[in-house]
A = this chain, B = another copy of it.
Amino acid sequence: MDKNRKEIKDLGEFGLIDHLTSSFSTYQQPSTYVGVGDDAAVIDLGNEYLLVSTDMLVEGIHFDLAYTPLHHLGYKAVAVNISDIAAMNGKPEQITISIAISNRFSVEALEQVYEGVTAACTNYAIDLVGGDTTSSTSGLVISITAIGRVAKNKLVQRKGAKANDVICVTGDLGAAYMGLQILEREKEVFLTNPEMQPNLEVYDYLVGRILKPEARTDVVFDMAEKNILPTAMIDVSDGLASELFHICKQNNLGFRIYEDKIPVDNQTYETAIEFKIDPITCALNGGEDYELLFSIPQSEIEKIKLHPDIHMIGYFHANTQERIMVTKQGNSVAVQAQGWTHF
């Protein structure tokens, strides 16, 4: 083996993408407005912007078929891409889907995936307009591209947040991560004793959050109605801390967030305690919540504070070194970004 060989895992997912796409920062097409580096690419259509987002879900990496129903998988594959369009403040309209699948799957299995895709298309009022179905030598791979549109003056990027802007997050955080812990535990129990029937009912919310997440297109709609335009936005796919770091890096900012403001569901809280995990760690570093993280000017606080599903958790800071969470006890602790590492 060549000892100078660079290993993919040493760079990490974000490092790798930065490394590979650094040469793609200049564009040849005048219609290319934003390329690599945001939740979705932005293409100038003249009177509005087209948004394009793509994601790949790989068996054994992003999902485990031991506990992932195929129709949920199809639904989720669509939802996570729609979430990227929502994170640009856009309206999703079409998707394409490519599936690589091995002969160990039946046609019925593939139909179940498409059933979930259909349900998501109906729910988000989008059309499946193309794709590819191909054979695979081993696992199941699903790649989805979502297309959306946004008025030019409504586009929200990761870039745009300013010092003192209020940091908001939708829904609650950490539930998907705890759902995954539950499913992994039940899988272990099942492998040890196949007679055991899992009791997932008490964890229904958590399991639902990991298996069948929803994109927050509803919040994008609500904000448009209330005439609120975030200064920056991102979807929470890799954990709150990681997403905050992305926005800070793009805008040369730091942040200060308050532990008691971070929304954590009771079921997440109690299950985290049961698993001897700090609930706030789930919220900060657990991934796959697909909530929206965004910032608004302080002048907009009045408009947002009555929304039952939007939580103001802190504010951005001019000092880039300031990456602080104020605990319930009033202590300031430094936040580490962990995110998800697939490699």
Interface residues of A (CB under 8 A from B): 2, 5-11, 13, 16-17, 19-21, 23-24, 27-29, 31-32, 34-36, 40-41, 43, 45-47, 50, 52-56, 58-62, 93-94, 96-101, 103, 105-108, 110-111, 114, 118, 121-122, 125-139, 141, 143, 145, 147, 149, 342-343
Within 8 Å by CB of A129, from B43, B58, B105, B343, lies: B43
CB-CB under 8 A for A118 and B55, given A29-B125, A128-B36:
no
Within 8 Å by CB of A43, from B61, B105, B147, lies: B147
Within 8 Å by CB of A54, from B46, B103, B131, lies: B131
**Contact A133–B13 (Cβ < 8 Å):** yes
**Contact B138–A35 (Cβ < 8 Å):** no
**Contact B23–A107 (Cβ < 8 Å):** no
CB-CB under 8 A for A134 and B29, given A8-B107, A128-B36:
no
In the complex, how many angstroms separate the beta carbon of A80 from the nearest chain B beta carbon? 11
**Contact A135–B58 (Cβ < 8 Å):** yes
**Contact A5–B106 (Cβ < 8 Å):** yes
In the complex, how many angstroms separate the beta carbon of A102 from the nearest chain B beta carbon? 9
Identical copies of this chain, number: 2
CB-CB under 8 A for A52 and B130, given A45-B45, A103-B8, A110-B20:
yes
> In the bound complex, how far is the Cα of B307 from the Cα of A135, in angstroms?
39
> 9 new A-B pairs (CB below 8 Å) besides A28-B122, A54-B130, A58-B100?
A6-B106, A16-B107, A28-B126, A32-B93, A45-B45, A52-B96, A61-B136, A61-B137, A132-B143
In the complex, how many angstroms separate the beta carbon of A159 from the nearest chain B beta carbon? 16
Task: Across the interface, name the chain B residue whose C-beta is closest to A13.
Answer: B133
> In the bound complex, how far is the Cα of B13 from the Cα of A99, in angstroms?
12
* Chain B residues within an 8 Å CB radius of A47: 46
Task: Across the interface, name the chain B residue whose C-beta is closest to A43.
Answer: B94
CB-CB under 8 A for A36 and B106, given A52-B94, A96-B145:
no
**Contact A126–B24 (Cβ < 8 Å):** no
* Chain B residues within an 8 Å CB radius of A8: 101, 103, 105-107, 110, 135
